Structure 1
Amino acid sequence: MTSTDEPGPHLPPPPGRAPKAFPARPPSQAAEAAVGLLESVREDLSAVSLPLALPGVDKARQDARNAVAQLDDYILPRYRSLDAPLLAVVGGSTGAGKSTLVNALVGHPVTRSGAIRPTTRQPILLHHPDDAGWFEGHRVLPTLSRIRGTISTEPLPASRAGATPDAEAISSLVLVADAAVPQGIALLDAPDVDSISDDNRRLAGQLLAAADLWVFVTTANRYADAVPWKLLLNAASRDIMVAVVLDRVPQEAEAEVSADLRALLKQEGLGGAGLFIVRETYLDDLGMLPPESVEPLRSWLRELAADSAGRSEIARRTLNGTVRALAGRVGAVAQAVQEQERAAATLRSDARDSYRDAVTRILDATKDGALLRGEVLARWQDFVGTGEFFRTLEQNVGRLRDRMGAFFRGEPMPAVRVEVAIETGLQAVILDEAANAAEETDQRWRSDPAGRQLLGTEDLSGTSQGFADKAAAEIRAWQAALMELIRTEGQGKRTQARWLSFGINGLGAALMIVVFSMTAGLTGLEIGVAGGTAVVGQRLLEAVFGEDAVRRLAQTAREDLHARCQRLLQAEQQKFLDRFPDGAPDTAQVLAGHAAALTRLADQA
């Protein structure tokens, strides 16, 4: 056999024939509903993201990929065309004689066999010429390109037959039309399931997942190998029809070996599998088995192909079992997604808790008098005057107003210096607490494998670039809002003259001092620290607006500062939260619903 590289659906017809097109029968309403469900399952499985390094996540990722591939390769195509020919995949262990068996079934070398491993690199699909239309398009195995193979006019030995081994063409499917293949069934010679090539093993698994029935080839000395049995058990879970070929069996050991293999099959739930014995024998000059050695299997395949009702029953049985197995796989992926969501929620909670605690510490620092030390206290004392000012304060509020008003009208700059000192001190507190929150979050995440994976090698334990400028801008915006609050409060005719006489900056500075000296008590304005320093600001404001108004102004200013600090640190915590990829929040629930719907679909079938 020779081959021509003509991938895609536009293949040349077999010599002397025009390929027939086989449109699927109009689907029933139930079939349309099933296809709609399966397409939704495929779409949602394709979108599954399992980014966190949790136990078992690699298997869950592989399960999701395999489920999508099987939907594309087998389940959806079979639902759309239940009357298509059966696809019998010939698979098995390395050196089991799969290609030799396929050649014997058609009566001449069509696929390469020999001692070099792996022999089968490109899978070869043999079909009856009248069935060409079912396979030349991408109805099944759509990810594999098509290459049309032709049968050589002169018989080639099996060591030279078939496609030339080509590691670069592992993603292609060689199609060969041969009248020796009974119409209604196709044979696919697959790579070794335990090949030394990773690509070959993956492709073998993909082909077996697309099979309507599996011809499993093993040998007298390898029939108990673990790898093929794992795939056999997978076939049992799909309720797929399996024909087991026990190859190269010495005549003297036939009874013992076949009895042991039958017992193993029955033990693993495959007691209904057909067992065909191929005795150890010599190959002819072309590398062919004697025709009579495979006659029982050839007759079984022909009878199967001739029975349209039987073929339909096999197709439906395998499809139904595959859908049921898919339901379990989708359910397992749903559980994995749920575990990811729980782990992500824990990591998000760690970040939010750290930054929420940082906001609390910032606010505590603004109401316990801590900011009324150092530079802020010095600038405020420069602003209000000397100790003599404090001694006369209680005697005459009016005199306080006059002195303050004269002070403001003559030299307003000290009030501005108070604002700047407050901005600098508050910014330092915010930067320090934001850095603490980042370090705490980084430590929590790195103590968790999932968090370590999300962080990678990037260091997020400090504040973000530009955060200091953002904090300063937010403080200035708060100060401006506080000034506007005073203007709004002083709109009445009685208070307007007073606050104008003191100046907006002076009253603003006084209100900031009051805000930073009030405790968390709910029963009114209390002075926490700095003694007379805070009393001056409070009495000044009360002289202009009254005690109730001052309490209200201070509370409003504090709530505004709280909200701004929250927004500032919430934005800063996003550098952690943005490590999570986007995903639908209800993915686990949707997939669990799909699993239940697939189970119902299998039950109804």
Structure 2
Amino acid sequence: MSSLLLSVRDVPLVLDAEGAGRARSIKSDVVDQLSDYILPRLVQLDAPLLAVVGGSTGAGKSTLVNSIVGERVTESGVLRPTTRSPVLVHHPDDAEWFQPDRILPDLPRTSETGNGTYALRLASTTRIPQGLAILDAPDVDSIDKGNRELAAQLLAAADLWLFVTSAARYADQVPWDYLRQAAERSTSVAVVLDRTSDEALIEVRGHLARMMTSRGLSDSPLFTVPESGLDTDGLLPPESVAPMVGWLHELAADPVARQMVVHRTLDGAVRHLVLRAHDVADAMDAQVELAETLFGTADDAYREALDSITRQTADGTLLRGDVLATWQEFVGTGELLSSVEEKVSRIRDRFVGGLTGKRTRSTEIVDAIETSVRVLLVEHAEATAETVARTWGTSPAGRGLVDGAAGLDRASSDFRIRAERAVHDWRQGVIELVRVEGADKRMTAKFLAFGVNGIAVALMVTMLSRATASDEAGAAAIGRKLLDAIFGAAEVDALVARAHDDLVTRAASLLETEVARFHQLLEAPASLRAHQTALREAARKAEYSRHADFLNGEVTS
């Protein structure tokens, strides 16, 4: 059962998929009942029988509890101080069973009479027998939402319900919704018809009994408490509650009967929760489907962005503007050099600039290339973020995620800096590639003419235009001609491919960081499926345990 609690508690239902609201409510109910009742009861089967007294507003629950106990332990009245402080009455010798680490562990304890906010007030008295505890719960139809939720929580933690109604309220829908849930869970229930006049007693009791039968509660005891005056302590005449008191005392005195009640309720609770756990697992299908759609939208958009960057860094797109102008200024705009060796000194002079430390032509070209690549990366990151955010915003679930993450429709605030660093590192990588591959060619005239930086520039220009149909006719062809003369055509092809692959890899890394901003807003589909599988497996084991252990009259956690 502990694994079921952990599995259902860990289930993420953050997406506003179809049925998500109901699934969250079921999840909360399952977690509460496992925490408040099933697990505490499993580890202390010998604990006193907990009878929770619940019902409608004005049904007389508190008066009934006081009358059953035989003294004032809880305050009556619609606006009584204990409206938000349910009272648990037990024998002094049973006090240890109701410590905070046991039943209802999340509910604060208090021994003070007062209007503590949703605190459980413990009251001990020798008028109640050992083996029995009675808990006065808030009204199930209270106008206060917190009271209604607390009432539901307490009833779910009961071994036995004492459900109190009256001639005026017995047909109300809200109480019957609770009784229907009790029947579904096989919870042990006793119904108390309170505040009923002698004239209406027979008719109302008969109608109520038929309603109980039609709703699966034919085996539940039905007690009637006739309308009567109260004594000076606000208690009903002892004879009015004598049948109920006798029945409760017999349960407390009979360990076998008490265990039968506990086992019936516990077995029904586990069976019902197993079914509800499967309902939660089924609801996760919609979560998985929606997560796949959202993840797929983001992944596809950033994959398309990378594909576009890959194309545009090889099809000549970037070999325009400043890059092209600077390159043409360097190599000249006339006819293609027919003999590189004839022009060695001329080209060397253009690269070196004549003076050490001066800005060279190669530096100008590299700067222009870096700027163009960086701008390309930033433009794609910005456009893709806007596209994904807009697409996600077309569904309620996606819109909720986008609205909760400021700036998601733009690239990361530090993207430009990271892009600049990535492009600069790529440039250094190209230079290092030329340095390593040209190590055995450094004494040739052509290599000496251009140097490592000059050849690296030629390699970058060649890479940016390698998919251009007019390669051999454009200014970029000069770079290829120079590279072929130094390295050979086959080796140049390999160098160009390696330089481009390196740039694409760095771009992919940048975009992976960007798409991760969307990914981190929700669980990955694979993770959701793992949660779903774990929940179903835990529910299956809980059901197996129920069959194996309950049939033998034993329970294990």
Which of 532, 538, 548 is the matching residue for 1:594? 538
Aligned match for 1:566, one of 493, 503, 508: 508
Q: Distance in 1 between matches of 2:472 and 2:445?
A: 29
Secondary structure of residue in 1 paired with 2:45: coil
**Measured at CA, do residues 323 and 420 of structure 1 come closer, stay the same or move farther in structure 2, by a change above 3 Å?**
same
**TM-score, with normalisation over the residues of structure 2?**
0.91
**In structure 1, what residue type is equivalent to 2:27?**
A
Correspondence list, 1:326-337, <5 A: 326-337=273-284
- CA separation in 2, counterparts of 1:371 and 1:102? 85
| 1:127 is aligned to 2:90 | yes
Per-residue Cα deviation, 1:28-61 (whole angstroms, up to 9, x for no partner)? xxxxxxxxxx223333434343322333333333
Q: Give yes or no for the alignment of 1:43 onto 2:3.
A: no
Q: Is 1:75–1:323's contact at 8 Å kept on the other side of the alignment? A: yes
Q: Which moved more, 1:329-338 or 1:435-444?
A: 329-338
The alpha-carbon deviation at position 511 of structure 1 amounts to: 1.2
For 1:24, the equivalent position in structure 2 comes to: none
Amino acid at match of 1:81: Q
Q: 239, 254, 269: which one pairs with 2:216?
A: 269
Aligned residue in 2 for 1:7: none
1:293 counterpart residue number: 240
Asked if 2 retains the 8 angstrom alpha-carbon contact of 1:88 and 1:213, the reply is yes
> What secondary structure is seen at the aligned counterpart in 2 of 1:492?
helix
1:294-335, CA deviations, whole angstroms, 9 ceiling, x for partnerless residues? 222122112222221111111111111111122123223333
**Would the aligned equivalents of 1:515 and 1:557 in 2 still touch at CA under 8 Å?**
yes
Q: Please tell me whether the aligned partners of residues 141 and 148 of structure 2 are also in contact (alpha carbons under 8 angstroms).
A: yes
Instruction: State the Cα distance separating 1:549 from its structure 2 match.
Output: 0.9
Instruction: Give the aligned partner of residue 519 of structure 2.
Output: 577
Counterparts of 2:84 and 2:441, CA distance in 1? 94
Q: Does 1:361 align with 2:305?
A: no
Which residue of 1 is the match for residue 327 of structure 2?
380
Match of 2:351 among 397, 408, 422: 408
Question: C-alpha displacement at 1:482, in angstroms?
Answer: 1.1
Equivalences, count = 542
Aligned residue number for residue 37 of structure 2: 74
Corresponding residue number in structure 1 for 2:389: 442
CA distance in 2: counterparts of 1:206 and 1:558, whole angstroms = 63
Provide the C-alpha distance between the structure 2 equivalents of 1:571 and 1:305, rounded to a whole number of angstroms. 64
1:233-248 alignment to 2 at 5 Å? 233-248=180-195
Distance 2:444 2:215 in 1: 93
8 Å CA contact retained: 1:121, 1:170 = yes
CA deviation map 1:83-137 (0-9, x unaligned): 2110001110111011111122123333222354686432122223333332356
1:36-115 matched pairs, under 5 angstroms = 38-114=1-77
In 1, Cα distance between equivalents of 2:100 and 2:387:
58
Asked if residue 322 in structure 1 is aligned to residue 269 in structure 2, the reply is yes
Structure 2 Cα separation of the partners of residues 514 and 495 of structure 1: 23
Equivalent residue number for residue 509 of structure 1: 457
Distance 1:419 1:44 in 2: 56
Q: Please state whether the residue corresponding to 2:89 is helix, strand or coil.
A: strand
Could you tell me whether the CA contact under 8 Å between 2:333 and 2:475 is conserved in 1?
A: no
What fraction of aligned residue pairs are identical, expressed as a percent? 44
Question: Match of 2:342?
Answer: 399
1:211-236 per-residue CA deviation (whole Å, 9 max, x = no partner) reads 10000000112112122112112212
Aligned to 2:498: 556
Residue 494 of structure 1: CA displacement?
8.1
Change (3 A) 1:208 1:429: same
| Residue type of the alignment partner of 2:271 | R
What is the rounded CA distance, in whole Å, between the counterparts of 1:368 and 1:503 in structure 2?
26
Distance (whole Å) between structure 1 residues aligned to residue 517 and residue 84 of structure 2: 47
Question: By how many angstroms is 1:379 displaced?
Answer: 0.3
SS of 1:380's partner is: helix
CA contact (8 A) 1:170 1:199 kept: no
Alpha-carbon deviation of 1:240? Answer: 1.1
**Aligned partner of residue 372 in structure 1, secondary structure:** coil
Shift, 1:63, TM fit:
3.0
Matched, 1:232 2:179: yes
Q: Which deviates further from its counterpart, 77-86 or 250-259?
A: 250-259
| Contact kept in structure 2, 1:518 and 1:528, CA below 8 Å | no
Note if contact 2:90-2:128 (Cα within 8 Å) is conserved in structure 1: yes
Please state whether the residue corresponding to 1:188 is helix, strand or coil. strand
Matched residue type, 2:540: A
Say yes or no: does 1:541 pair with 2:483. yes
CA distance in 1, matches of 2:349, 2:71: 115
What SS does the corresponding residue of 1:247 show, helix, strand or coil?
Answer: strand
Which whole-Å deviations, capped at 9, do the CAs of 1:57-91 have from their partners, x for residues lacking one? Answer: 33333333333332232112211111211000111
Deviation at 1:591, TM superposition (A): 1.2
Question: Post-superposition shift, 1:241?
Answer: 0.7
CA 1:490–1:146: 2 relative to 1, 3 Å: closer
Residue 267 to residue 495, structure 1, CA distance change in 2 (3 Å):
farther
Matches within 5 A, 1:135-214: 135-136=98-99, 138-148=101-111, 163-164=113-114, 166=115, 169-214=116-161
| Mapped contact 2:441–2:486 kept (Cα < 8 A) | no
Q: Secondary structure of the residue that 1:217 maps to in structure 2?
A: strand
Deviations 1:533-574 (CA, angstroms, capped at 9, x unpaired): 122111111111111111111111111111111111112223
How far apart are the structure 1 equivalents of 2:196 and 2:412? 72
SS in 2 for 1:175: strand
Match for 2:286 among 327, 339, 354? 339
Contact 1:93/1:217, CA 8 A, preserved across alignment? yes
**Mind listing any 5+ residue stretches in structure 2 that lack a counterpart?**
551-557
What is the match of residue 554 of structure 2? none
Deviations 1:250-297 (A, max 9, x none): 323323222222222222222211111122233334332222222221
Q: 1:545 to 1:260 in 2, by over 3 A?
A: same
Partner of residue 164, structure 2:
217
CA deviation string 1:454-507 (max 9, x = no partner): 222623222222322221221121121111111222122587553233222221
Go from structure 1 to structure 2 and tell me whether the alpha carbon gap of 1:223 and 1:536 turns closer, same or farther (over 3 Å shift).
same
Q: Tell me, in whole angstroms, the C-alpha distance in 1 between the residues paired with 2:345 and 2:247.
A: 114
Q: Distance in 2 between matches of 1:183 and 1:494?
A: 99
Secondary structure at 1:276 match in 2:
strand
What's the offset of the Cα at 1:354? 1.3
Looking at structure 2, the residues matched to 96 and 180 of structure 1 have their Cα atoms a distance apart, in angstroms, of 23
1:400, CA displacement in angstroms?
Answer: 4.4
Q: Structure 2 residue aligned with 1:466, among 409, 414, 420?
A: 414
- Give 1:249's aligned residue: 196
Q: Is the 8 A contact 1:355 1:573 kept in 2?
A: yes
After TM superposition, list the pairs within 5 Å mapping 1:297-312 onto structure 2.
297-312=244-259
Distance 1:85 1:490 in 2: 88
5+ long unaligned stretches in structure 1: 1-37, 150-162, 520-525
Give the 3-state SS of the residue equivalent to 2:71 in structure 1: coil
Cα offset for 1:186?
Answer: 1.3
Change (3 A) 1:383 1:188: same
SS in 1 for 2:192: strand
Alpha-carbon distance in 2 for matches of 1:425, 1:440: 22
Question: Which residue identity lines up with residue 498 of structure 1 in the other structure?
Answer: K
**How far apart are 1:407 and its partner, in Å?**
3.7
Aligned-partner residue type, residue 418 of structure 2: K
Candidates 364, 372, 377, aligned match of 1:430:
377
* Alignment CA distance shift 1:436-1:114 (3 Å): closer
